[in-house]
Amino acid sequence: MSWGIIATWRMALEGIEVSSEKISKGMSAGDIVESVVKAVEDYPLYKSVGYGGLPNENCEVELDAAFMDGNSLSIGAVAGIKDFKNPVSMAKRLSEEKYNCFLVGTGAEEYGDENGFERKNMLTERAISFYNKRKKAIKEKGLSPYDGHDTVGVVALDIEGTMAVATSTSGLFMKKRGRVGDSPISGSGFYVDSNIGGAAATGLGEDLMKGCVSYEIVRLMGEGHSPQDAADRTIMKLNNELIRRRGYAGDLSVVCMNNKGQWGVATNIKEFTFSVATSNEKPKVYITKNLEGKTVYEEADEEWLKGYIKKINKKVE
Ligand code: GLY
């Protein structure tokens, strides 16, 4: 039976490398998406997810995460939580609840404490340096505070044919306290149905939510569109509508996979990266290259991969 994992951004690669071996041996899609997301949440140099994520305008790291099971359609999500090591694990546990499966702020934190989820100070010295640097730049140059909103979103198909999806993010850098984006919102940041396929989004939550992009992609795949076609149609349509009606479209990027393990991606930004492994292909990073109505991508070469490591390790000046 074929299997597959696809995730937004290069940052998911290490988690996918470890998980591809496990999924090929029978680990469930639900456990796989959780473990790929946890690997990103735990890594201090990824600035938009979990530990090391960039803070809100009050210099607090507020985290959002979600989980969905494609067999039962169960959903769990948390939003605006502080100081928990793995928000995705809380979301996964919440998906087992019949009621109260999406919790925010202090209510979510109480749930985390009552159910033994590990606490951790998620604000790193590095994130504080980025915050101070941005504060200074805003004061001196009047820059827009809003920048940086890269969610990790992972879709998996296991060898039993079950699909699952999970997301996690620290949201928009310098966001208002209490701001929530698309990542924990079913249908916008994520959606999965094992009978069809799944999708996850990254980009500007305020705009992704205007198109319910993840549900729309799954709906189109259910009507017979290939994952690539469903992703392209959804992103291009939302991008064009937003420009037509509002004069501007924020960053919109998606990954998706159907229940045969075929995958697709689409974006309206210059360089969107994503990580994939399937029963037919070893873990790889791809970079999108073309935005003319149909997304084109190529495998990241050694030079790009080395440059990426250098970039994320760069000292904050
Ligand atoms: N896409 C993540 C966010 O806007 O919060």
What is residue 316's predicted lDDT score, i.e. its pLDDT?
A: 78
Q: What secondary structure does DSSP assign to the chain, as a single string?
A: ---EEEEESGGGHHHHHHHHHHHHTT--HHHHHHHHHHHHHH-TT-TTSSTTPPP-TTS---EEEEEEETTT--EEEEEEE-SBS-HHHHHHHHTT-SS--EEEHHHHHHHHHHTTPPB-----HHHHHHHHHHHHHHHHH---S-B----EEEEEE-TTS-EEEEEEE--SBTPPTT---STTSBTTTEEEETTTEEEEEEE-HHHHTTTTHHHHHHHHHHTT--HHHHHHHHHHHHHHHHHHHHS----EEEEEEETTS-EEEEESSS--EEEEEETTEEEEEEEEEE-SSS-EEEEPPHHHHHHHHHHHHPPP-
pLDDT in tens, 72-83: 999 999 999 999
The CA 288 to ligand 1 mean position distance, Å, reads 20
Give residue 291's pLDDT: 65
Residues 71-100, mean pLDDT to the nearest whole number: 98
User: What's the mean pLDDT in 258-285?
Assistant: 96
Catalytic pick among 124, 151, 288, 295: 151
Q: Ligand 1, from 11, 63, 173, 208: best to mutate by most atoms within 8 Å of Cβ?
A: 208
Confidence of residue 142 (pLDDT cuts 50, 70, 90): confident
pLDDT at 86 over 70: yes
pLDDT over threshold 90, residue 148: no
pLDDT at 315 over 90: no
Confidence of residue 290 (pLDDT cuts 50, 70, 90): low
Residue ranges lining ligand 1, Cβ < 6 Å: 149, 151, 169, 171-172, 181-183, 202-205
Span 181-234, pLDDT tens digits: 999 999 999 999 999 999 999 999 999 999 999 999 999 999 999 999 999 999
- pLDDT score recorded for residue 137: 86
What whole-number percentage of the chain has pLDDT above 70? 97
The answer to pTM > 0.75 is yes
Q: What is the mean pLDDT of residues 100-123?
A: 98
Q: Is 8 a catalytic residue?
A: no
- More confident of the two residues 215 and 134: 215
> What pLDDT shows up at residue 299?
97
Query: Does residue 174 register a pLDDT over 80?
Result: yes
